[in-house]
Each structure stands twice: as structure tokens, then as C-alpha cells.
Structure 1
Amino acid sequence: MSLRIEVLSGLGDKAPAAILVEAEGRRLLLDAGGALHPGQSMAWAEGLDVDAVLISHDHIDHIGGVSALPAELPLYCTGEVAAALPSGREWRALPERGQCRIAGIPVTTGQAGHSLGGVWLHLGIGDGVFYSGDACRESLLFPFDQPPPARVALLDASYGSYDTPQAQCREAIAQRLSEPRVLPVPVSGRALEMALWLDELGVVWNLDDACRAGLEALLRLPRTLRRQGHDAAIRRLLDAARKDSPLLWLVEDRDDDPQEWPAHRLLHTGYLTPRRQRQRATGEVDWQRWNVHLRLSHMRALTRQLGVGQVIPLFTTEVREVSESLMADEPAFSEEGSDAVG
């Protein structure tokens, strides 16, 4: 059976996710990412011809390009992710954990450990094609399900060769909370984990309405879609009285500028756009990572468990370094023609 995989966007850089998989005369688009910052290319959507699109999760670099797709194109996602679609966009249900057929191709999904309603995708083509979307094995709240074996793996390698454990990240962030801070975060994911962690720290803090709504959405999920043991703490967090003007704020990331928070200092914990990189370089903002993607040792473990013969690291500039590290006991990944398997 012929198999062709083309990374339309997301190979060699932190860029919108868009992967084309073609087999048995059917063409599936995995994710439809939007630009992470002004000026980032969306050329992947031009002249697109596919039978269906599957969305892994609701972050902008994976779902933000849906508006560029034909309205009649069948789109599959989980119910939680559907809330982030353009108003009125029709969609079809993708199981949060289970199996279905899309355009005649068997699809298996599982929890990716990254966000509300976020899933990895496994296509039953040949010896299996696995796409992680964005994934994490260190989440306090979101489980990561072990996927079936796959010969080809398209992996979230956003962190490249980085391999610092989450516990060290939390400790480093805690050391920066002694002055007035604002932590801008994506609501569907990191915000929810950091809210629980901050509450355990016992610091005086508050969260905005968007982060509060995210926690309420988390509690509405089926219990099997969140790690157990945190529900009572989340309810206490939501019910607690909080100061109107605390020294520490957890807020939805709306591309905040330092000028919007004159009494606080911004501390970013994830991807920095070029503008934010400049702000960090000039000392206007601070940065300390909180892990929400696969780090190197977890990618290694996953490739072994999948039994892959070829791995394609996505969303990283370290394509060659990561692929050679992951396939050390296998034939080296060739960057030439790295956007296709046939």
C-alpha cells in the first residue's frame, strides 16, 4: 500500500501545524494551524485538496487555520475542542479515547496530556502512523495514553534536545515569585495546572475569569479524562475568596504588554514570539519554562514503545539533532526528503 506524508507546515520551526497523509486514494489533513505571530506564513492552506481534517487540540497553532478551509470540508475534533472553532463551523465527533473510521481510514485516539480535550492520532495505515499533536507526559491534570505501535511517528519536538524535569521547572518559577508578577498562560492547558500548583504554594494570588472558566470546564469533563485526586482542591480553589489586587496574577494570555501591567512584571512560561524574545533581550519581561511538551527522554521512550522505523520531529529547529538522538539504534533520519514517506 502506498503511503505519502507531507509536512505542509511545522517542519524545521515552531510554526502552524499542518500535516497531509495520503493513503489508499484518501487524503487526511492532521491539524490546521494558525500563525503564532504576525507575519508567520499560512501558505500551507493555499490550494488544499483533502477528504477530511482532524484537529488534535484547540491551541491556535493547531486550530487557528480552520477559518482558511472550505466550510464544507468534513472536520473532526472532540467536543471540548469544538468550542474553539469559528462560530457556526460544522464538525464531527472525534472520540477522546477510542476508535473510528474517517474517509475509510481506521483512526485511534488517546489523551495527549497537554490540554482540555486534546488527543493524539494513530492512523491504521500500513504498520501505523502516529501523530502526537502537542503532547506531554508530566502533566499534573491531563493523562497521556499509551498509543498502539506505529512504524512512522510524527512527534511534538517543540523543546528540541531540552530534557529538564518538570519538578526543576516548578522550583525555578517559585524562586521568581517574590516580586509582583503576572503569568500570562493558555487557558486550555498550562493555566489549569499552574492554578493548582500556586494554590499548593500558599502564595497570595488571583486568577482572571478566563482561567476560572477553564477550571470549571475541567471539572465538567468525564472523570476518566483528568488525573484523579484533584477535584476537591479545584473546587476549593474556585470557592476561595481572593484579593482584588494581589501581587501575583494568573491570566489568559492575550499577547500582554508590560505597559498593561505597570505594577507587575510579566513572567512568561512558554513559547516566546519574536516580539517577546526582543522584550526578554531588553530586560522588559522574564521567562522560565513550565513543561507542556515532550522532553527528549520522553520522546526516546515513546519511540521505543511505538517501535518506529522513522521519526519526524515537528515544531523544532533541531530536526537533525533530535531525530539522530531518537533513532540512535536505527538508520539515521534523512533531512533530505524529510517531508515525505513513500
Structure 2
Amino acid sequence: MSVTIEILSGLGAKGPAAIVVEAQGKRLLLDAGGALHPDDTITWANNLDVDAVLISHDHIDHIGGVAELAENVPLYCTPLVAKALPHNRPWHPLPERGTLEVEGITVTTGQAGHSLGGVWLHLAVGNGVLYSGDACFESSVFPFDTPPKAAIALLDASYGSYDQPQAYCVQAISERLDQPLAFPVPETGRALEMALWLAKEADRRQLTLAIDPVIRDNLAALLALPATLRRPGLDHSIRSLLARQNACPPTLQLMCDRSDTPEQWPDHHLLHTGYLTPDRRAELAAGQISWQRWNVHLRASHLVALADQLGATQVVPLFTPFSDNALSAWHGLLGERLCTAQRLYAPSRLVTRSSLGSFACPQ
């Protein structure tokens, strides 16, 4: 039997992630993304019939649609990601790094470098299918593991052809720390590495700092994991930050993103570092907020390097618009490997799994 992949959502736009892989008579759903904007609805789950669902990480556009699925559909995620599931939703544990059988299909997971508890998913069907979820090589906190070979690569392309290194982003934010700033951030993602960086900068510049209690709790959760699930050399910095008292009032405030508006922070200027909703884009255009990216997704050269390492013959850039200019850029980057079809097919020959290692990230 052949392998069929149907991208229900997440192709040709920044949107909810939902991908069905059908193989060996079973249908597995990779991620169950919810709407990015409060007024939007999702349609990918309508009349959906799957045998199991695997969740890569806990951000809303990857897990927010779980409530649309029947509770009797087996759901797999890592224990930290399970905290974001609807109350009392049954689930089965995915390893943070390892293998298991799901409906007779061998699934390998590894660290994706994006968020607490987040993993990529490799399915040993056809000549291998790799779904990166959201992924990044550049995190100072979360490692990125080398996946097994895969002929089909479904990769995080949220940044399109953007290719600025993280050092550039950090420097650009550093140059703005001469004013009271508030940083709304996803609590399990960049929040952790930004907390450690801001603590270091605050000490160096003699600035006051406050870190959201939820972010502190997530740093403690990171510290409680096996040491191999975080970058080396962090433990002392994490413990020091957890022991640090929040300043009141602080010059720098790192808080969980709760749809904050400039009016809620009259004594601080809001500096966003990731995806902007339409309302926030309007605030940016009006000069009410600022924006500077902090890299948490694969930039273009890293996506190509990952596709090369996988030996992929079909590469699907996910979560990115496909304008004419964008498609031209992707053709230049990926050549004949570029695939933009909603439905893909592959032969059923099984791949041989390779052991996990640490990916040599290009700079």
C-alpha cells in the first residue's frame, strides 16, 4: 500500500497545522491546530476520521483544535505538552526523544529546538516522512536533534526566505534596552531563552527586571528535565534567575502574552518579537508598539540544510504564503525538491531507522 499525505491546513499561509498521513491502513493526524485569531474558526476537523493524533508542541496553532476531535481518538504528546490539552482529555505519552509504535507505525521523536516539550515527528513509512512541527536550530535553551532520513520533509517555513542569524536579532533588541520595555511572549517558547538573556543584560546594565511567574515555573520545569533535553551550561543561570526577586516597578518586563495592548502598559513600551495579529500590525503601523524578531523558526538556509541532511526528495514548506515571489524564492532554494501540493503520495517501502544524534547546525 502507498503512503498518502494530505495537508488539511498549514499550506500556503500562516495558519493552523493539521496533516493526515495514511499508511498501512491507518490514518494519523499530525497536529491539531487552532485558529490564530480570536474571531477565526477552523474547518479542517469537519467530518475528520483518523485513528490517532500526534501533537508536536503546545502552541495554539498546533494544539488549539484538539477540542474539535472526538475524545475516543487516541492522542499522543509529551507530558509537558499535555498540560495544554483540554481538561481531562485522555492522552498517551510521546517520548521527548525516542521511538514508539502508534497504530502499528513506528514513530520517532526528537527535540525540535522551539519550545518546552516540543518534538519533531518521523514516521517510518514509505522512505520516511519527517514533520518538523515548529523547529529552530538557534535556540540557546532547546536543542535540535538530528532526525532519521526521510524522502518527504514537511518543514517549518514560517519565516519564508528570511535568513538573518539570531545574533543580529539579539543585537537589535539589545540596542532598545535604554527605555522601559514590556515583552509579551509565548510562555513555553522564546520566553525561556529571553528570560535568561534579559537577566544577564539587566545585570550588565544595572536595570531592573520582572519575569512572569508562569515563565519562572516553565524554567523550573526545564531544569527538572534530564540534562540532555536542554543546552549544556544553563543550570547555574536558571537557578540564579529562579532565586532572583522581581523588581517593582521594573524597567524590563517579560510576561506571558495575554493579548496585551499599549493601554495596559502605560509605563512601558511594548516590544513584540514574533507573529503579529492584524490588530497588532495596525498598532505597529501607528507607532504604538515596536517589533523585532527573535528567531524561533527555521530560517531559509537552515531549512535547506535540514532537507539536505534528510536526503529529502520532496520538501513542503509549511506555514508560509505562496505568492509568486515567494514561490520563485523557494524554487531557487529547493529546486526540483519543492512540493506545494496539498496531497502527496509515496511508495510503501519502509525506511531503516537511524540512531538520533545532535545536528551540526549551520551558522
**Is the shorter-chain TM-score for this pair beyond 0.5, marking a shared fold?**
yes
Asked whether the 8 Å contact 1:312–1:338 carries over to 2, the reply is: no
Aligned pair partner of 2:275 in 250, 271, 296: 271
Give the Cα–Cα distance (whole angstroms) in 1 for the partners of residues 33 and 27 of structure 2: 17
Question: Which residue in the other structure is 1:99 paired with?
Answer: 99
Asked whether the 8 Å contact 1:303–1:326 carries over to 2, the reply is: no
**Deviation for aligned residue 1:327:** 2.0
Give the Cα–Cα distance (whole angstroms) in 2 for the partners of residues 144 and 334 of structure 1: 24
Residue deviations 1:17-74 (CA, integer Å, cap 9, x gap): 0001111211000000111112334000110100000000011110011111101110
Question: Which residue in the other structure is 2:159 paired with?
Answer: 159
Give the Cα–Cα distance (whole angstroms) in 1 for the partners of residues 249 and 258 of structure 2: 19
Question: Which residue in the other structure is 1:186 paired with?
Answer: 186
Aligned length: 339
Question: Which residue in the other structure is 2:140 paired with?
Answer: 140
Look up the SS of the partner of 2:20 in the other structure.
Answer: strand
Give the Cα–Cα distance (whole angstroms) in 2 for the partners of residues 323 and 129 of structure 1: 20
Provide TM-score, normalisation by structure 1: 0.96
* Greater relative contact order (Cα < 8 A, sep 6+): 2
Question: Which residue in the other structure is 2:331 paired with?
Answer: 324
Residue deviations 1:111-160 (CA, integer Å, cap 9, x gap): 00011110000000010000000000000011100001000000000000
Asked whether the 8 Å contact 1:323–1:332 carries over to 2, the reply is: no
**Deviation for aligned residue 1:326:** 3.6
Counterpart AA for 2:256: E
Unaligned 5+ segments in structure 2 are 347-363
Look up the SS of the partner of 1:297 in the other structure.
Answer: helix
Question: Which residue in the other structure is 2:303 paired with?
Answer: 299
Asked whether the 8 Å contact 1:280–1:286 carries over to 2, the reply is: yes
Counterpart AA for 1:189: G
Aligned pair partner of 1:224 in 224, 228, 244: 228
Runs of 4+ in 1 over 4 A off after TM superposition: none
Question: Which residue in the other structure is 1:254 paired with?
Answer: 258
Look up the SS of the partner of 2:81 in the other structure.
Answer: helix
Question: Which residue in the other structure is 1:333 paired with?
Answer: 338
Asked whether the 8 Å contact 1:269–1:290 carries over to 2, the reply is: yes
Look up the SS of the partner of 1:242 in the other structure.
Answer: coil
Counterpart AA for 1:217: A
Counterpart AA for 1:299: L
Give the Cα–Cα distance (whole angstroms) in 2 for the partners of residues 85 and 97 of structure 1: 20
Asked whether the 8 Å contact 1:311–1:323 carries over to 2, the reply is: no
Counterpart AA for 1:204: T
Question: Which residue in the other structure is 1:214 paired with?
Answer: 218
When structure 1 is superposed on structure 2, of 157-166 and 311-320 the one drifting more is 311-320
Give the Cα–Cα distance (whole angstroms) in 1 for the partners of residues 343 and 40 of structure 2: 19
Asked whether the 8 Å contact 1:181–1:267 carries over to 2, the reply is: yes
**Deviation for aligned residue 1:334:** 4.9
**Deviation for aligned residue 1:176:** 1.2
**Deviation for aligned residue 1:322:** 5.2
Percentage identity across paired residues of the two chains: 60
Give the Cα–Cα distance (whole angstroms) in 2 for the partners of residues 132 and 228 of structure 1: 23
Give the Cα–Cα distance (whole angstroms) in 2 for the partners of residues 311 and 338 of structure 1: 12
Give the Cα–Cα distance (whole angstroms) in 2 for the partners of residues 60 and 169 of structure 1: 24
Question: Which residue in the other structure is 2:131 paired with?
Answer: 131
Gap change, CA 1:230 and 1:68, over 3 Å in 2: same
Give the Cα–Cα distance (whole angstroms) in 2 for the partners of residues 151 and 247 of structure 1: 49
**Deviation for aligned residue 1:223:** 1.1
Question: Which residue in the other structure is 1:18 paired with?
Answer: 18
Q: CA RMSD in A?
A: 1.3
Give the Cα–Cα distance (whole angstroms) in 2 for the partners of residues 154 and 242 of structure 1: 41
Look up the SS of the partner of 1:241 in the other structure.
Answer: coil
Gap change, CA 1:100 and 1:326, over 3 Å in 2: farther
